[in-house]
Chain A
Amino acid sequence: MKILNLLKIAYRSLTKNKLRVLLTMLGIIIGVASVIAMLAIGQGSKQNIQASMASLGINSVMIFPGSSNMGGVRMGAGSYSTLTQKDAEVIAARCDFVTDVTPVVSKSSQIIAGNQNWHANVTGALSQYFSIRNLTIAQGNIYTTTDERTAAKVCVIGQTVSTNLFGAGNNPVGKYIRINSIPFKVIGLLAVKGQNTFGQDQDDVVIAPFATVMKRMLSTLYVNSILASATSEKDIDKVKDQVTTLLRIQHKLTPADQDDFTVRSQADIANTFESISNVLTILLACIASISLIVGGIGIMNIMLVSVTERTREIGIRMAVGAKSRDVLFQFIIESIFISVLGGIIGITLGVIISMLVGKFGGWPVVITPESIILSFAFSSAVGIFFGWYPARKASNLNPIDALRYE
Chain B
Amino acid sequence: MEQGNELIVVKNMAKTYKLGDMEVNALRDVSLTINKGDFVAIMGPSGSGKSTFMNIIGCLDYHPAKGEYTLDGVDVFKMNKDQLAELRNKKIGFIFQSFNILARTSAIENVELPMLYNSSVDSKERKERALAALKSVGLAERAGHMPNQLSGGQQQRVAIARSLVNNPLVIMADEPTGNLDTRNSYDIMEIFQDMNDKGITIVMVTHETDIAQFAKSNILFRDGMIVSNEIVKDRKIAKLEIPKLPILDKNDILT
Taking Cβ atoms with an 8 Å cutoff, the residues of A that contact B are 1-2, 4-5, 8-9, 12, 16, 312-313, 315-326, 398-400, 403
- Say whether A320 contacts B89, CB under 8 Å: yes
Q: Which one of B62, B100, B118 lies within 8 Å of A403 (CB-CB)?
A: B100
- B-chain residues with CB within 8 Å of residue A9 when the two chains form the complex: 116
A45 to chain B, nearest CB (A): 49
- A-chain residues with CB within 8 Å of residue B58 when the two chains form the complex: 319
A376 to B14, CA, bound (A): 54
Q: Does chain A have a CB within 8 A of B181?
A: no
A140 to B225, CA, bound (A): 114
- Say whether B94 contacts A319, CB under 8 Å: yes
- Answer whether A319 and B100 are a contact pair too, CB < 8 Å, given A399-B62, A400-B60: yes
A319 to B104, CA, bound (A): 19
Apart from A9-B116, A321-B85, A326-B117, what 17 extra A-B contacts exist at CB < 8 Å? Answer: A1-B117, A1-B119, A4-B123, A5-B117, A315-B100, A316-B101, A319-B58, A319-B100, A320-B89, A320-B114, A323-B85, A323-B86, A324-B81, A324-B85, A326-B85, A399-B60, A399-B61
A400 to B81, CA, bound (A): 13
A313 to B105, CA, bound (A): 11
A326 to B86, CA, bound (A): 12
- B-chain residues with CB within 8 Å of residue A316 when the two chains form the complex: 100-102, 113
Q: Of residues 101 to 135 in B, which have CB atoms within 8 Å of A's CB atoms?
A: 101-105, 109, 113-114, 116-119, 123
Q: Which one of A313, A318, A403 lies within 8 Å of B102 (CB-CB)?
A: A313
Q: What are 9 of the A-B contact pairs (CB < 8 Å)?
A: A8-B116, A16-B104, A312-B100, A317-B113, A320-B113, A321-B118, A326-B85, A400-B55, A400-B60
A403 to B82, CA, bound (A): 18
Q: Does chain A have a CB within 8 A of B90?
A: yes
- Say whether A12 contacts B105, CB under 8 Å: yes
- A-chain residues with CB within 8 Å of residue B88 when the two chains form the complex: 318-321, 399
- A-chain residues with CB within 8 Å of residue B114 when the two chains form the complex: 320-321
Chief secondary structure at chain A's binding surface: helix
Taking Cβ atoms with an 8 Å cutoff, the residues of B that contact A are 55, 58, 60-63, 81-82, 85-86, 88-90, 94, 96, 100-105, 109, 113-114, 116-119, 123, 162, 166
A311 to chain B, nearest CB (A): 12
A326 to B88, CA, bound (A): 14
- A-chain residues with CB within 8 Å of residue B100 when the two chains form the complex: 312, 315-316, 319, 403
- A-chain residues with CB within 8 Å of residue B162 when the two chains form the complex: 320
A322 to B89, CA, bound (A): 8
A233 to chain B, nearest CB (A): 61
A324 to B113, CA, bound (A): 16
A313 to B99, CA, bound (A): 12
A326 to B118, CA, bound (A): 11
Q: Which of A5, A8, A319, A400 has the most CB of B within 10 A?
A: A319
Q: Which residue of B lies closest to A399 (CB)?
A: B60
B129 to chain A, nearest CB (A): 14
- B-chain residues with CB within 8 Å of residue A313 when the two chains form the complex: 102-103
- Answer whether A321 and B86 are a contact pair too, CB < 8 Å, given A1-B117, A5-B119: yes
A392 to chain B, nearest CB (A): 14
- Say whether A2 contacts B119, CB under 8 Å: yes
- Say whether A318 contacts B85, CB under 8 Å: yes
- Answer whether A398 and B63 are a contact pair too, CB < 8 Å, given A16-B104, A320-B89, A321-B90: yes
A400 to B113, CA, bound (A): 18
- A-chain residues with CB within 8 Å of residue B55 when the two chains form the complex: 400
- B-chain residues with CB within 8 Å of residue A4 when the two chains form the complex: 123
Q: Which residue of B lies closest to A324 (CB)?
A: B81
Closest 4 CB pairs of A and B: A321-B89, A320-B114, A323-B85, A400-B60
- Answer whether A321 and B166 are a contact pair too, CB < 8 Å, given A5-B116, A400-B60, A403-B60: yes
- B-chain residues with CB within 8 Å of residue A16 when the two chains form the complex: 104-105
